[in-house]
Amino acid sequence: MTTTPEPILEPDLPIIDPHHHLWDLRAMLPMLQEPHHDFIAALVDAAYYTFDALHADTQSGHNVIGTCFMECGAFYNPAYGEAKKVVGEVEFVDGVAAQGASGLYGNYRPCHAIIGHADLTLGGGARPVLEALMAASGRFRGIRHQGAWDADPAVLGAPFHAPAELYRDATFREGFRHVGELGLTFDAWILEPQIGDVTDLARAFPDQPIVLDHCGTPLNIASYRGTLHANFDRWRRSIHDLAECENVSVKLGGLAMAFCGLPEDGPAKGHGSEHLAALWRPYIETCIEAFGPSRAMFESNYPVDRWGASYPVLWNAFKRITQHHSADEKAALYSGNAARFYGIEDLLP
């Protein structure tokens, strides 16, 4: 489906995109061949996404002044051993950041913050991995150890299941303690029924900066298809409960993933920003109401959210939702909160 490109709304508004990936999944394509799973199909469609693709998207009209890379298992280096192979991802992304920092591609700074991965189920053994990640790049800011799980294996697809109640596990929490001791951030990705696991973790570690990814990932896939409306009140209560933890922020985005079915008919079927804003508004407005404009940040989650929206249309939809917010609130939601959370205030105008 082709559509006429939309005019860019508020083109001068500075944006720090705090959540995108870079990867080359071509070697994984045989494992990813699950034709009946929409999320897997979306990954196959975007199997190669590195600097050139990121540059084309971020420089397609909106004023993206910088970005934060989010771990995704890219370019691990087995020569470092099983635990420390994750350092290869940070080294790769640091090179991309250096490429952007050269100024040859404009004034924006891609991957100015890098969020890597360490296996926190190593317990105390996670600390040397975290220290190796810190040594690999001055841009390294924290980790994500995703905890997404559901009893229905069709929700996630085989490659993406974490153990059930991972964030409540004692050994995981032993490793998690080192994240805070080293002054690092933590990104939490779970599915909507699991938001309480993040709340329990945040209460157990009240000084640890945590950000909930993707509005908590509402589900409209597999056995959850058609249940968004029925589960909305449960999601809203969970979000408000989590927001009582002052150490937690929320990322406003991820709703264009196939998991959420907002829209259902991806990938990239040409829906305009008005339509998408109407679908996403109840979730985004609830998150801003719960966390306040000082603990929320808009994200692209690209290229995964290519399922439902092109990069320019995605940010147009966000801007439609916040059109009545003050200039100060927009500055916080689109750049300031991300800069503060990830320690990259040098990007701000």
Over residues 184-192, the mean pLDDT reads 98
Over residues 245-268, the mean pLDDT reads 91
147 vs 161: CA distance, rounded Å: 8
pLDDT above 70: percentage of residues in the chain: 92
Query: Tell me, what's the pLDDT at 104?
Result: 95
155 vs 219: CA distance, rounded Å: 8
Helix (H, G, I), strand (E, B) or coil at 112: strand
Query: Tell me, what's the pLDDT at 258?
Result: 87
16 vs 342: CA distance, rounded Å: 11
Asked if the model's pLDDT at residue 35 lies above 60, the reply is: no
Over residues 35-59, the mean pLDDT reads 77
Over residues 306-311, the mean pLDDT reads 91
Q: 84-105, pLDDT tens digit by residue?
A: 999 999 999 999 999 999 999 9
pLDDT tier for residue 307 given thresholds of 50, 70 and 90 = confident
Q: Note the helical H segments in the chain.
A: 38-45, 51-58, 87-101, 126-136, 170-181, 195-204, 228-243, 273-291, 311-321, 327-331, 337-341
Range of weakest confidence among 110-114, 202-206, 266-270, 283-287: 266-270
66 vs 107: CA distance, rounded Å: 9
Query: Tell me, what's the pLDDT at 29?
Result: 56
**Cβ–Cβ under 8 Å, residues 213 and 256:** no
DSSP single-letter state for residue 60: S
pLDDT above 90: percentage of residues in the chain: 85
**Assigned CATH topology for domain 14-342:** TIM Barrel (3.20.20)
Q: β-strands 248-252, 48-49: how paired?
A: unpaired
pLDDT tier for residue 26 given thresholds of 50, 70 and 90 = confident
Asked if the model's pLDDT at residue 312 lies above 60, the reply is: yes
Q: 48-60, pLDDT tens digit by residue?
A: 899 999 999 999 9
Neighbour order of strands in the sheet with 248-252: 14-20, 63-70, 109-116, 140-144, 185-188, 210-212, 248-252, 296-298
Identify the CA nearest to 17 among candidates 253, 191, 187. 253
Asked if the model's pLDDT at residue 198 lies above 60, the reply is: yes
Query: Tell me, what's the pLDDT at 45?
Result: 63
Asked if the model's pLDDT at residue 1 lies above 60, the reply is: no
- How confident is the prediction for the chain on average, in pLDDT? 93
Query: Tell me, what's the pLDDT at 6?
Result: 94
Over residues 11-15, the mean pLDDT reads 98
Asked if the model's pLDDT at residue 157 lies above 90, the reply is: no
Query: Tell me, what's the pLDDT at 53?
Result: 93
Instruction: Give the torsion sign (CA, 212, 285, 235, 248).
Output: positive
Domain positions in the chain are 14-342
The better pLDDT of the pair 164, 153 is held by 164
- On whether the pTM is more than 0.75, the answer is yes
Over residues 17-24, the mean pLDDT reads 95
Burial 312-341 (b: 16+ CB within 10 A, else e): bbbbbbbbbbbeebeeebbbbbbbbbbbbb
Asked if the model's pLDDT at residue 2 lies above 50, the reply is: no
